Structure 1
Amino acid sequence: GGSDRFIVVVHPDDRHLAEHLSQPTWAGQVRLAYQERRLGMAHALECGAPLIREDGAPDFVLASCDNLYPEGHVASLVAHRRKSKLDAALTLLRVQADQVPTMAVVAMQDGRVTHIVEKPRPEEAPSDLGVPALYALSTRMLDYLPHVPISARGERDFPDALRLLIEDGGTVGGVPVEWRMTMTHAADLLALNRYFLRHDPTCATVEADLPDDASVIPPVRIEPGVKLGAGCHVGPEVYLEAGCSISTGATLRQAVVLRGVTIEAGAVVEGKVVG
């Protein structure tokens, strides 16, 4: 029930990502489409649409790059769209009033989405059902992209494409999700690191050489090539990316240290992303 072919829409500033996904490892699995200007999700999908049509698949999943969902949710979303013969199946998440202005919100009737509003004010929201940016879609959806207007923010919002689909008689449903994790701020990266180290044993590995007097408190992830000084203390819930250096006597707890960073001797780093 998973996806095996991917189209990643990249901006010219995403050079490192584009280089990584262009490696032979991803050949046949990942193709790149280019969005010269960041003009919203509908525009990004339009940039990738020629590759979707070229693939010939009847449906596809559209997702933003900064959210994680419970395992199996994508498969459930695709299965619901196909079983119910929907043009679009949306991820639905109940949200608090202060979250309403951050995403689209829908009105539902008899299991179908009848109306969608992009980032409304709380008093204007048709319900408390928010729509994170994860969708299972038929290729019919691509026909509406050229007609999506530019918003007041200067972007072409994907919920406007869904609105056009609904107004044209398209069928749109949804699958509820209990939670999602976002990756927008440093605190989000710390939360994601904590979640995967706690819940996925394959992530919690030590693959670098440790000095005899180093102290490691699991769970941690220390990648190959990390340089660790004598007497350092690492953990719990620490991620050290390949290419970083931890100097003598440094202490790290609940931290993420990215490549190219050197933590000074004797430093104490806790609850921070350093990169």
Structure 2
Amino acid sequence: MVALPVAVVARSGLSGGIDAFVRALWHPVARAALLLTLESAAVMALVNAFMGTLTAYVLVRYRFPGRRLLNLLIDLPFAIPTLVAGLMLVVLLGPGAPLGRSLESAGLRVVYAPASIVLCLLFVTLPFVVRAVEPVLRELDPAEEEAARTLGASDITAFRRVVLPALTPAILSGALLSFSRALGEFGSIVVVAGNIPRRTLTAAVFVFGEVESGNPQAASAMALVLITISFAVLVLVDAFSRKRVHA
């Protein structure tokens, strides 16, 4: 179910030889699309690592009104089509929306700009870091933090010296999974980014465009690169997971 389609894509991408494979990827539009995808996914992963860890910490360590609703909302990106996520961002931040007009008047355009890609990726990958960090936090004994505070450590120092080292493998695993997921995001981006070559065209949308244009070899070449990067990321995730289980 998985290996056969991957093998077919690899065969198609390399059907013209290594030179044709390199030429397809070195085309300015393809190169810009891949670079934009990697940059957007990297920015998203960094933000997601911070915000996801903070959200998981709040959910585990605090009790407050609306906590259960917040917990349910975190999994919402898994339950709705990504096209709907793109539509929501257009309705919220598009040129015809009050908030979108306010941002544009201040010189900040979100929809049909690279910023919209990062926002879409943050929305669809929100649960990865939260759900990776949350079970690890539940297993940690709060008494260790309390002991650090008793010895004179501030809340930030206690978190940095006691909690964060234990969470690091889970944070890295969640961030890498969100990075891998972002590489292939299509539905939300195709709605909000504008898909302008060398500006807002991502790798996944580039693949779709090449298929529609009758150029499956270039589409397969880009797809093969994305598959290779995703597989390498999953190997890293497995390594961090093993480290977490061993710890």
TM tier, smaller: under 0.3
Highest CA radius of gyration, 1 or 2?
Answer: 1
Q: Whose helix fraction is larger, Structure 1's or Structure 2's?
A: 2
TM-score calculated relative to the size of structure 1: 0.22
* Greater RCO, CA 8 A, separation 6+: 2
